[in-house]
Structure 1
Amino acid sequence: MAIHGNLSEASLADVLQLLSLGQKTGCLSIARDGSFGTVHFADGRVVDASIANRRDRLGDRLVRLGAVAPDELARLAAQRQVQDDRDLAKALLATELVDHDLLGQLFRTQVEEVVYHLFGWTQGTFTFEPDDDTSPEAPLVSISADALLLEGARRIDEWSLIEKKIPSFDLIFEVDRSRVSAHEASLSPAQERLAALLDGTHDVHALIERSGLSEFDVGKALYGLVTTGYAQRVGRSSARRQPPPESRVAEHRNLGIAFYRTGMLDEASREFRRVLELRESDGISRFHLGLVHARRGEWADAASTFARAAQEPEAPSAVWHNLAFALEQTGDRAGASRALDEAVRRAGSLPDPRLALSRADMALRDGDLAAAEVLLATARAQWGARQPSAAWFHTAGLAAALAGDSRRAVALLEEGLAVYPHAVPLHNNLAVVHERRGSYELAARTLEHALLEDANCPHLHKNLGDYLYRAQRYDEACDAFVRVVRLAPLHGPDVYLKLGNIHYRRGALDDARLAWEQALALEPGNRIVMANLAAMLPAADQVFPEPSATPSVVNEAVLAAHGADA
């Protein structure tokens, strides 16, 4: 279950301690005033941490230390499609470019420094998304949260003193070399390194970059030099106050993508809109803004945003694919078909199984089962040795069920759940197939298992309520239906009809009438509801006809992944 909160109510140290004690695995995301950081956990231990747009990266440190040449690093990053420092570290471990012990030490130091920096954030929001660590690879580092907490607390205390002398990183300092020589000062190694750079032209940001030291070590060493009078402040770097436009565009775009990937949609939308204010033609940001609308279910806005992005001559296949999906959700089937054809054309010679899957889904909606089966087979072949997506198993199971082959539908859905055990739509649809085959107890157990994955899915409570209702377990059915209307008051008339029937059997006539009236408001022409309401006064003991109780199937909304990286 995801955890959300505000740093003003719970400190980051408290959150880390909670995740450590619970031996949690997943990603903790922290957002604060345009800054964004992540801390990854495996069994309660920290295995990675990063801050978006942080200047001091692993590659920078390796180059400064002379451990790898800049051109070799750039070539490796391009070949391995490196996205972040963890990808870079894994790529370097597979080569002989860098000493592996040095690489491990630097990566660990960088993770620690990020966490210590995040400890200083006292305002903002945090979100923890749990995840199953199914990767067979051992993490590059595994750090005890307790050790980080102890060192972090010490640094926070020290930094409260340091920032009295160094309140901002755009300050410029200069060393008084005559005074250092006169006193024959004994400087620490960090102070010796800084003294060579304190020439009145470098601000603290530059000192951190050029010295190769961490922010804390630079601050501590500089604090000692200033306190003893060996260095003094001489100005402020005005150049840092207004970053160049390209830097601002990249910063907002990267923050938006980081927010989007962790589900912080409001923050992501804000950053993408800032990019478009600076550069209206930024296709990546417009594409991701469309994805934000889609994630929110704002299909008309998603369609118009994707359509605007598709006007760019070089718009990739993913833009047209998502445009097709959004248009289909708005009811424009013809437009969706044309957009999907254009997505296939732009994909060219690189087959994308997601496009074949979307075509299969469209054929299924048109009732063309034969075409759907061919396209599903094509999609699976295009995945090659990789496992198909959860959406493929969803559509393939649905196609088999609609073709009347319930045994194959069960096999496909169970195969999908073996790969994606937390995919709620697969659980739900498997329960539907079990119920239609007459395996009612198995259907109920499947639904109960699905509810452990997502207790807020109204479809699951509705299907479970249907089963309990047919099994005449009315008290349990009533609880399930009440949860449905609490989660989705407009879910459908069938829920209120059955709730009315249960209330009537209990003798709660007022509650029965209110439930049936709500059902009639949702479906004014429902004859069963009308008959029940009409019969309430003259026949208090009338047994009402039962409504149809066919379980509903959740259709999973699938968004095509964007092919380009910001």
Structure 2
Amino acid sequence: MAIKGSLREAGLPDVIQLLSMGQKTGILTVTEKEHFGSISFFKGNIVDSYLITRKNRIGELLVASGEMSEEQLAEALELQKKTGEKIGKILLKEKFVREESLVTYLKQQIQETIMTMMTWENGYFSFEPRFTDMDEELVAVNPASLLLETAKQADELSEVSLDILRESSIVKPVASDEEIEQLTKNEKRVYSLIDGEKTLEIIIEFSPFDTFDTKGIVSSFVNRGYCQVIERISPQGISEKINEHLNLGIAFLKTQLYDEAEREFKHVVKLNPKNRDARFYLSVILTKTKNYREAEELLRKLLKEHPDNSLYQNNLGYILEVKNRLDEAMECFEKSSGLEISGIPVLNKGIVLFKRGDFAPAKEHFERALGIDKNLLLPHFYLGMINIVAGKPTDTIQEFEFIIEKDPTIPTIYFNLGIIYENLMKSEKAEESYKKALELAPNYMEAKIKLGGLYYKQGLYPSAQKIFEIISGVGLGNADMFLKLGNIYFKIGQKDRALKQWKKTLEFDPGNKIARRNIEMAG
């Protein structure tokens, strides 16, 4: 079935991934104004690519790299006119090039073609299934790894283009004869194309090297003062680039792709080192990845420039609270709540008081936070914990169930609810809560240990054993778990395995009297 659409509606990477996941065989054609290209797929892998403006690119790449001579390429092209065979097969048949070299540069050509197509934003694509001759191709490139590498190079190219700016820019040569003489052979080949009239796009087209290398060489000329960019990007263009990187970074941040988000925000800072939004979001990423020292430094710099920003004060307070610098944290939250009416800094002041054990004023702050913003859920958690301390587990259950009603996807709530039910001797509800926590977070080890402990308490030893062995198998566990697993092994007559677990118990808790007594009894 044919697939057609607009690049505005579906980006080229998404289309390629769709064809790859569907293991499609056929040809994807992409057009934008006068531009035309194609990508050939065989069972989901990319096997060939083509750009109408660069028909014999593979031959040029092989000549530029020294893998073959210009005379051999000319001869191969003549043979191609007569036979209609693909240039790669002719090169191999005539033994003009080694197969491994050809495959390397074919992959490079595919990557370069896709990188070029990824700059087309207003075009159209069309995929037509085709099932003949596709298995005879020399290469089969996995689209996932190719897209990752292409995105990385495109990202690096965007940095290079901060100097060159656009492929429509005109580059003018200004190097002296002595400076030209000092250029490498490859640099001279590119420099000979720069005449003050050609755009960067045309230079790339006629260059014997790929897009990435050509842009890198021309960029180095600009940086060394050997040529000038006549046309530079407008302030409006810079603003558009900043917004583009900001929006992309925020999207990555929301989906917890922190490395990708960091890359986008750093692009913004390169374009405008004073951009507040990008620097703030970088501090958020540093906080989420637990790089608290760097996050604190960045927020303090922002606060020097913007001391009345409530959000900066609040986030700095959070970092100080995590680092257990509670007095400094409280000072930040006080400033934040004084700058803007918000439930968040009031909530955070309550958390500091809770950590200090000042439960009565903490409760007042949590209730105040809810009075400002009834949609906050964290105050209900802490109010529940205060009720536990006050010996009111039923009230705690009500608070936790309120949270679940509003957001049923928080595994820690189910975990804590399970502990409460277990303490109230409500085993079925405890089991249900632990299982729900694990359904939401399958690697939640504390919940696994508690569920295993619950089964052990109920005498369901095979079920407990199964869970404990899974946890132990990945190198995790605690003294209580190893003690119980040892007891299970001893009950089923596996004394050696029991001794091993009890010894593990002592590694975690050297003073454990029960483990020592069991070892003496069994030994």
Q: 2 CA distance for matches of 1:486 and 1:242?
A: 58
Q: Relative to 1, partners in 2 of residues 1:275 and 1:388: Cα closer, same or farther, differing over 3 Å?
A: same
- Asked if residue 341 in structure 1 is aligned to residue 236 in structure 2, the reply is no
Amino acid at match of 1:287: F
Corresponding residue number in structure 1 for 2:38? 160
**Which residue pairs with 2:512 in the alignment?**
527
Alpha carbons of 1:497 and 1:270: their partners in 2 closer, same or farther (altered >3 Å)? farther
* 2:429 equivalent to 1:442: yes
TM-aligned CA deviation for residue 264 of structure 1: 0.8
Alignment-derived partner of residue 417 in structure 1? 404
Decide whether the 8 Å contact of 1:116 with 1:155 is kept in 2. no
Q: Write out aligned runs for 1:354-369 (5 A).
A: 354-369=344-359
Opposite residue 38 of structure 2, the aligned amino acid is: S
Report the TM-score, using the length of structure 1 for normalisation: 0.52
| AA of the residue aligned to 1:540 | A
Query: Relative contact order (alpha carbons < 8 A, sep ≥ 6): 1 or 2 greater?
Result: 1
| Distance apart, 1:527 and its partner CA | 2.9
Of 447, 451, 455, 1:460 maps to: 447
State the AA in 1 paired with 2:327. Answer: A
Distance 1:499 1:122, change over 3 A: same
Aligned to 1:377: 367
The match for 2:287 is 294
What's 1:7 paired with? none
SS of the equivalent of 1:448 reads helix
Residue 304 of structure 2 corresponds to residue 311 of structure 1:
yes
- Once residues 329 and 483 of structure 1 are traced to their aligned partners in structure 2, the CA distance between those partners, rounded to angstroms, is 32
SS in 2 for 1:160: strand
State whether structure 2 residue 371 is matched by structure 1 residue 388: no
Residue 216 of structure 1: aligned partner: 124
Distance 2:481 2:296 in 1: 32
Distance 2:246 2:335 in 1: 27
Query: Does the 8 Å CA contact 1:120/1:156 hold for their aligned counterparts?
Result: no
**Aligned AA for 1:460?**
A
Amino acid at match of 2:357: G
Give a deviation string over 1:499-533, Cα, whole Å, max 9, x none.
33333333434433433443433344x333xx524
| Partner Cα separation in structure 2 for residue 300 and residue 487 of structure 1 | 31
As a proportion of its length, which structure holds more helix?
2
Q: In the alignment, which residue of structure 1 is the partner of 2:161?
A: none
| Paired residue secondary structure (1:338) | helix
Q: Do residues 518 (structure 1) and 504 (structure 2) align?
A: yes
Letter aligned with residue 536 of structure 1: I
Letter in 2 for 1:403: A
Question: Aligned pair in 2 of structure 1 residues 315, 261: CA closer, same or farther (>3 Å)?
Answer: farther
Q: Distance in 2 between matches of 1:121 and 1:315?
A: 48
AA matched with 1:361: I
- Counterpart secondary structure, 2:324: coil
Deviation at 1:413, TM superposition (A): 1.1
Of 389, 394, 398, the match for 1:402: 389
In 1, distance between residues paired with 2:472 and 2:280? 35
Aligned residue pairs total 345
Alpha-carbon distance in structure 2 between the residues aligned to 1:240 and 1:460 = 62
Q: Residues 535, 431 of structure 1: CA spacing in aligned structure 2 closer, same or farther, 3 A cutoff? A: closer
Larger radius of gyration: 2
Mapped contact 2:437–2:444 kept (Cα < 8 A): no
Where do residues 191-340 of structure 1 align in structure 2 (5 Å cutoff)? Answer: 214-216=122-124, 248-277=241-270, 279-314=272-307, 316-340=309-333
Identity among equivalent pairs (%): 21
Contact residue 376 and residue 392 of structure 1 kept, 8 A? yes
2:467 corresponds in structure 1 to: 480
- Deviation of 1:301 after TM superposition, in Å, equals 4.2
Q: Which residue of 1 aligns with 2:519?
A: 536
Match of 2:419 among 432, 440, 448: 432
User: How big is each residue's C-alpha offset from its partner over 1:397-431, in whole Å with a ceiling of 9 and x where there is no partner?
Assistant: 22222221111111111121111111212211221
Contact 1:427 1:447 in 2 (8 A): yes
d(CA) in 2 for partners of 1:299 and 1:475?
44
1:113 Cα deviation from its structure 2 partner: 3.3
In the alignment, the residues of structure 2 paired with residue 414 and residue 401 of structure 1 have an alpha-carbon distance, to the nearest angstrom, of: 15
1:300 touches 1:330 (CA, 8 Å); kept in 2?
Answer: no
Letter in 1 for 2:352: M
**Alignment CA distance shift 1:479-1:296 (3 Å):** farther
Alpha-carbon distance, 1:461 to partner? 1.0
Structure 1 portions without partners, runs of 5+: 1-12, 18-108, 127-145, 168-203, 218-233, 542-566
How far apart, CA to CA, are the structure 1 residues paired with 2:304 and 2:486? 52
CA–CA distance in structure 2, aligned partners of residues 293 and 405 of structure 1: 38
Query: Are the structure 2 counterparts of residues 435 and 453 from structure 1 closer, same or farther at C-alpha, using a change threshold of 3 Å?
Result: same
Aligned to 1:133: none
Matched residue SS, 1:260:
helix
1:508 aligns to 2:494 (yes or no): yes
Shift of 1:380: 1.4
Aligned partner of residue 266 in structure 1, secondary structure: helix
Please list the CA deviations of residues 96-150 of structure 1 after superposition, one character each: whole Å capped at 9, or x if unmatched. xxxxxxxxxxxxx98x832254444469x99xxxxxxxxxxxxxxxxxxx9xx99
Residue pair 2:343, 2:373 contacting (<8 A) in 1 also:
yes
Deviation at 1:314, TM superposition (A): 4.3
Provide closer, same or farther for how the CA distance between residues 510 and 273 of structure 1 changes in structure 2, counting only shifts above 3 A.
farther
Provide the C-alpha distance between the structure 1 equivalents of 2:444 and 2:457, rounded to a whole number of angstroms: 21
2:323 partner amino acid = T
